[in-house]
Structures are given as C-alpha cells and as structure tokens.
Amino acid sequence: ETGVTQTPRHLVMGMTNKKSLKCEQHLGHNAMYWYKQSAKKPLELMFVYNFKEQTENNSVPSRFSPECPNSSHLFLHLHTLQPEDSALYLCASSQVGRDTFQETQYFGPGTRLLVL
Amino acid sequence: AQKVTQAQTEISVVEKEDVTLDCVYETRDTTYYLFWYKQPPSGELVFLIRRNSFDEQNEISGRYSWNFQKSTSSFNFTITASQVVDSAVYFCALSEATAAGNKLTFGGGTRVLVKP
C-alpha cells in the first residue's frame, strides 16, 4: 500500500449505531488530520494529531471521538450520529518540522458516510 | 482569520479549451503557503502544487500553470488544452502555521466539467 488509505470507503449507519473509520498512512509522516466535507460547507478540519498527541479539536461534537495509537494510524469513532453528520470524511497526513506551514498534506480517498 | 475565496462554483468547457480557476486569499501572515488540490469523482484530494509567499514566479507543469500575484492576493490556476480527465473539483488552500502542524484553510472549490 502506498500513500494514505482509508477504510471503509462507504458506510451506512443508523443513529444508534457505533462504528469506526480507519486511516493509515504509509508515508512516514508524524502528523495526521481528520476533515469533514459535506455538500453545504467547505472542507472543515476536525482534528489534528501531531506525534500521536491531539493538538487540535476544532469544536467537534463529542459523538466524534478520534484515536491515534501511533503515527501511522488514525481512527474516528462514531456514536449516536445525526443525519446531518452524513458527509465525506477525509484523512490526511504530513511531516511536521520546524517550519510547519510549508508541509504538504496528503489525503486519503475518504469514507462516504450516510447516517439514516 | 484566514480566508480563501473561489468565486467560480462551476465551469464548463469543451475539450481542448483553456480554463482558468480564480483563487483570492486573505491573511495577516507575511509568510504563508498556498496549495492547489484536485478532487476527482473518486473523492481523494490530489496535491497539485505548493507555492511559498516569497516566490512570485509563475510555474508551469505540463498543461497546468499557476499565476501568483501577491499584490492582489491571488493564486490562479490555468489548465491548457483541457481534457475530459481534468473534470474534477479543484480546491485552493492557504496554510497557517500552528504548533499542531499545518492548518489549511480551503476555498469552496470550483467544479470543472470538460465535455468531449
């Protein structure tokens, strides 16, 4: 596998279900990100993990719970979601160094989530 | 706060026509990076280019070219002799350095439809 992979690619869940999205990066990067892309809003940053530490939570509801067990893997645990949470969830990774703003983020293919 | 505006929501062209995508940004930072990403129907965001705020040279890569004008805060993207495979949504993004890593602010995207 190369680049950033995400599973599953598609997910349909009910509002009472619990599911998890998985992201894996094969680029040797040390920072990982979750983004939400819905039809009505631009790409929104949800969470940032830097060296496995969560360093940003962009006012995301607690029904979304991220987990980063190591620098290559990132999970997004979902529970009691709402229909408005239906969106494309994208994972990205980058290499954080001294000049953080120059790093390029590389994205996975996304998980298309539908909440019924 | 940073902001990226892509005023064109959708552009439709016939194959072999040139197409220019506009991107205007706002930032108070003196040093920043700008990015363009392509999102084909498969969903993955594909990195196209990164440009540093101190480098105003135009760049050409095959059929793609970028015009960075710091005086007007614009970073426009031109596809020359468009092809059907260029059909996608294109996003312009602006980086913000944080301790957490590279925080990207995305524009709303421009959908390009290239007809045969």
Judge whether residue B54 has pLDDT over 90. no
Under a CB-based contact definition with an 8 Å cutoff, are residues A34 and A66 in contact?
yes
Q: What pLDDT score was predicted for residue B98?
A: 64
The DSSP line for A13-81 is: E-TT-EEEEEEEE-S--SEEEEEEE-TTS--EEEEEEETTEEEEE-S--TTEEEEEEETTEEEEEEES-
Cβ contact (<8 Å) for B96 and A101?
yes
Taking residues A6-18, report their average pLDDT. Answer: 93
B37, B45, B102: residue with CB nearest A100: B102
Q: How much is the pLDDT for B30? A: 83
In whole angstroms, what is the distance from residue A67 CA to residue A47 CA?
10
Q: Does position A109 have pLDDT exceeding 70, yes or no? A: yes
Q: According to the model, what pLDDT value does residue B61 have?
A: 86
Q: How near does any CA of chain B get to the CA of A58, in Å? A: 11
The overall average pLDDT reported for chain B is 91
What is the structure's pLDDT at A87? 96
As a whole number of angstroms, the distance between CA A25 and CA A6 comes to: 9
Under the banding of pLDDT at 50, 70 and 90, the label for residue B83 is: very high
Residue A109: closest C-alpha in chain B: B44
The shortest CB-CB distance from B108 to any of A42, A94, A106 is to A42
How does residue A95 score in pLDDT terms, banded at 50, 70 and 90?
A: confident
Structure confidence at residue A59 (pLDDT)? 82
Average pLDDT, chain A: 89
d(CA A68, CA A21): 12
Residue in B56, B112, B54, B6 with CA at minimum distance from that of residue A101: B54
Three-class DSSP category at A109: coil
CB contact under 8 A, B32 and A101: yes
The span from the CA of A114 to the CA of A79, in Å, is 13
With CB atoms and an 8 Å threshold, state whether B98 touches A56.
yes
Q: Dump pLDDT digits (tens) for A22-62.
A: 999 999 998 899 999 998 788 999 998 887 667 667 789 99
Q: How far apart are CA A2 and CA A56, in angstroms?
A: 26
